[in-house]
Structure 1
Amino acid sequence: MQENDARKLNQMFNRISNLIAAEKDYLTELDGAIGDADHGITMMLGFGAVASELARSDFEDLLPSAVMTTAASVFLNAVGASTGPLYATAFLRAAKTLEARQSLDAAGQVAMLQAITVGIQERGKGQRGDKTMLDTWIPAAEAGVAALERESGPGELWRDITAAGESGAAATRSMVAVRGRAARLGERSLGHVDPGAASAVLILKAMAEVFVD
């Protein structure tokens, strides 16, 4: 079970890498409006490095937690921007959570989602409404918990998660940034979707494709 789970996480990171690469220009365009116009490139480099490193791994005896620990280290080394420490902490939190679980079933997937969200919150000291990636991750995690409580199947569970994440990201258009580089713009950040929130939606979509398959 754990061997299969490790391979599933490898598939997840591969899918994230491919989707981020395909949407690199879109993310960079969003970041160009309120940031340094490098978010698409940064995310592509980070997840590309993770996918490349995992491609050299032997999954015969690799635990799911080890996959997440590797992802944290590689992403941090590849990304020097503020996004690096945020996702590195998130993946380390997820690794710790997975150490205590027997399976990456629906409950394990939601627990991982919650751990990623908590890791980002702890590292960035942010909250919903700050116009950051947390405006995607927090509602997505909450939707996952709610769907799990309703005993939803995998398809419904991940539809709810991604829909909540998409709604959260869209809501950043009407927010004024209070954290990160965009905060320097003040009211001028209004009317723009946060690029970190947008890339988080792509990550959720990639996760959904792998876990619903």
Structure 2
Amino acid sequence: MFDTALSPADLLFLAKGAGITIIVTAISVCIGTVLGILFGVIRVQLGPIVSAPLTFVLDIFRSVPLLIQLVLANAFFGMVLRLHLSGFVVACLVLSLYTSAYCAEIVRGGIDAVPRTTRRAARSLGMTWAQDMRHIVLPLGTRVALPSWLGLALGVMKDSALVYVVQVTELLKSTQILITRLQEPLFLLMICGAFYFLISFPIARLGGYLERRWSSD
């Protein structure tokens, strides 16, 4: 018979860690998506030459491992700027910029996927740039960008496990704490994986539903 020292209080501790994971992910994805849309539109409108400085900065966030970004940002705010930010705030800031760098590329690809002839036809009918973006680019580009965006959101959720380096007790860190105390690594990691599955499964199903619905239109 399987015996474990895991108590209801320990499960609640893991659930709180999962809650922190969800909150960090939601804040980072929301802010990162807004910034990513802004950066993506700027890159398309200004062209590759004028937007080169912005592209270079975004490439840095895409290229440097997230773990290093978190450590450097925490040291920069604390030691250079003398700002005593909590680990939670630092994690959200870094993850938001990290998300925006990838989201900008997704947005750029979604806009470029809209045929130029379609956009020219819209402008020839008297549509303004804003109307073109709202009525033409947004509906068509979203269909192209949504699967990649959902993949990004799921990736950020899993990458949030790295925020332990700035003293944020999210799901994986909570699991590690219990492993140290209870010495049941396999069982606790299975529970941790189940929590991650419960968080990510609805997002993945939503993406599949939207793709099926749009493909049938």
Q: TM-score, normalization: structure 1?
A: 0.33
Which structure ranks higher in relative contact order (CA pairs < 8 Å, sequence separation ≥ 6)? 2
Greater fraction helix = 2
Structure label with greater radius of gyration: 2
TM-score (norm 2): 0.33
